[in-house]
């Protein structure tokens, strides 16, 4: 078994999800059972901030079985770890010390090499219980890819996209049940109807405006899997030495914080391009993944419906029937599971949520041309 005490916590679901997928893949490479831990959010509005990982996901990372034919130890809960690996029987590895020993330089050594070196180190240890510790917020693999730099994300994609840890990933049964129950609301069709005619829009609001402005000043690029070369939309940050800050921010915000007019223009452009691709269902329905205020979303929905008769139905995260308690805590995962199955997506290229939806869409066999950005 291997427990990563340096796992990310206190951040958003997708930052934590990325970290856990990468580290559980490392455990798989090292032929060790990954120790999965609860998810903790930094915000206080959710009440109790600690939630079981199985609230959000299932599959190998959360203790589920590997695909048939894969001989690998199944992940175990932290409670099982505490029972089977008392403190005095653990072998401790410090991240900073091991990185130095392995010649790993964060931001320089690519993700594949980092995984391979750490897996090799773990394979040399015969002790059953290994715990990875840290003396600062410094990890063997960064939990997000540096904005605009494909060094880690693109190198990691080559192995993660074929890893049984990732290919056997599933949302929790609660999340999947919530998606199924809301399909009639989203599509206006029966439970067993698919969402191939639905265009999902990821419109991040709330505190993201200041985040977008901050990134614009530093001419940031797209995040992680949104940089994959097979995706149709690219964003090349302007040269900070040549571009005026005001012009740079204005251009950036159209991609990161689109206005209602930007949304209307883009959805009709994407629909036309999507419908021109052979073999795809025509788009006529929209689902909006958002944390935006209800009044703004209501106005946006009316604007979309009034913009063109091609749009028959528009719903959003606010319209879903979600129970209080665990389902509400997992609302973001429910949104992501929906967007992973729709006919097309327009996402925020600077968002980790969009990046993970792109990953799940591609792993699910979706055409890369259906993964678009603002």
- pLDDT tens digits along 325-355: 999 999 999 999 999 999 999 999 999 999 9
For the entire predicted model, the pTM comes to 0.93
Angle, nearest 10°, between helix axes 151-160 and 111-123? 60
With bands split at pLDDT 50, 70 and 90, how would you rate the model's confidence at 174? very high
Pairing assessment for the beta strands 170-171 and 57-58 based on DSSP bridges: antiparallel
- Which pLDDT score, from 0 to 100, does residue 55 have? 97
Tell me, what DSSP letter sits at residue 87? G
Write down all domains in the chain, each with its CATH number in brackets.
2-167 (no CATH), 172-373 (3.40.50.11350)
With bands split at pLDDT 50, 70 and 90, how would you rate the model's confidence at 143? very low
- Which pLDDT score, from 0 to 100, does residue 147 have? 40
* pLDDT tens profile 95-106: 989 999 999 887
- Which pLDDT score, from 0 to 100, does residue 148 have? 43
Report helix, strand or coil for 336. Answer: helix
Range with the poorest average pLDDT among 158-167, 213-222, 236-245: 236-245
β-bridge mates for residue 372, sequence order: 346
Mean pLDDT of 77-87: 98
- Phi–psi pair at 283, nearest 5 degrees: -85, 130
| Residue 139 pLDDT greater than 90, yes or no | no
User: Which of the two residues, 219 and 64, has the higher pLDDT score?
Assistant: 64
Q: Which residues contact 221 (CB under 8 A, 6 or more apart)?
A: 147, 148, 149, 227, 235, 236, 237
Helix and strand tally (H, E) in the chain? 14, 14
Q: What is the CA radius of gyration of the chain?
A: 21
Mean pLDDT of 5-24: 90
Evaluate whether 254 touches 373 at the Cβ level (below 8 Å): no
Query: C-alpha angle with apex 352: 219 to 78, nearest 5 degrees?
Result: 135
Q: How far apart, in whole angstroms, are the C-alpha atoms of residue 96 and residue 81?
A: 24
| Residue 171 pLDDT greater than 60, yes or no | yes
Evaluate whether 77 touches 35 at the Cβ level (below 8 Å): yes
């Amino acid at each position: 078994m291997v427990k990563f005490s340096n796992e990310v916590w206190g951040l958003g679901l997708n930052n934590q999800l990325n970290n856990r997928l990468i580290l559980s893949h490392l455990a798989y490479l090292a032929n060790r059972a990954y120790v999965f831990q609860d998810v903790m959010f930094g915000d206080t509005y959710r009440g109790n901030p600690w939630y079981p990982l199985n609230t959000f996901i299932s599959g190998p990372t959360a203790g589920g079985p590997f695909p048939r034919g894969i001989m690998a130890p199944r992940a175990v809960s932290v409670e099982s770890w505490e029972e089977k690996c008392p403190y005095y029987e653990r072998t401790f590895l410090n991240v900073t010390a091991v990185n130095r020993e392995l010649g790993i330089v964060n931001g320089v050594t690519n993700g594949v090499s980092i995984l391979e070196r750490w897996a090799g180190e773990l394979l040399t240890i015969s002790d059953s219980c290994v715990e990875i510790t840290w003396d600062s917020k410094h990890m063997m693999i960064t939990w997000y890819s540096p904005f605009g730099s494909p060094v880690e994300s693109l190198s990691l994609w080559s192995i993660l996209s074929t890893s049984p840890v990732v290919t056997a990933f599933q949302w929790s049964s609660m999340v999947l049940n919530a998606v199924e129950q809301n399909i009639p609301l989203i599509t206006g069709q029966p439970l067993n109807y698919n969402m191939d005619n639905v265009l999902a829009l990821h419109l991040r609001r709330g505190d993201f405006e200041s985040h977008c402005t901050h990134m614009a000043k530093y001419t940031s690029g797209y995040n992680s899997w949104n940089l994959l070369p097979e995706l149709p939309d690219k964003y090349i940050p302007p040269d900070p030495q040549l571009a005026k800050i005001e012009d740079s921010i204005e251009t950036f915000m159209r991609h990161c914080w689109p206005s209602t007019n930007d949304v209307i223009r883009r959805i009709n452009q994407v629909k036309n391009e999507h419908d021109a691709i052979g073999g795809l269902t025509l788009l006529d329905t929209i689902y909006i993944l958002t944390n935006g205020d209800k009044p703004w979303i209501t106005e946006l929905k009316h604007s979309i419906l009034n913009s063109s008769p091609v749009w028959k139905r528009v719903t959003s995260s606010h319209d879903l029937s979600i129970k209080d308690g665990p389902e509400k805590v997992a609302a973001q995962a429910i949104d992501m599971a929906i967007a992973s199955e729709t006919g097309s997506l327009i996402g925020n290229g600077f968002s980790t949520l969009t990046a993970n939806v792109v990953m799940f869409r591609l792993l699910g066999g979706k055409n890369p041309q259906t993964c678009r950005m603002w």
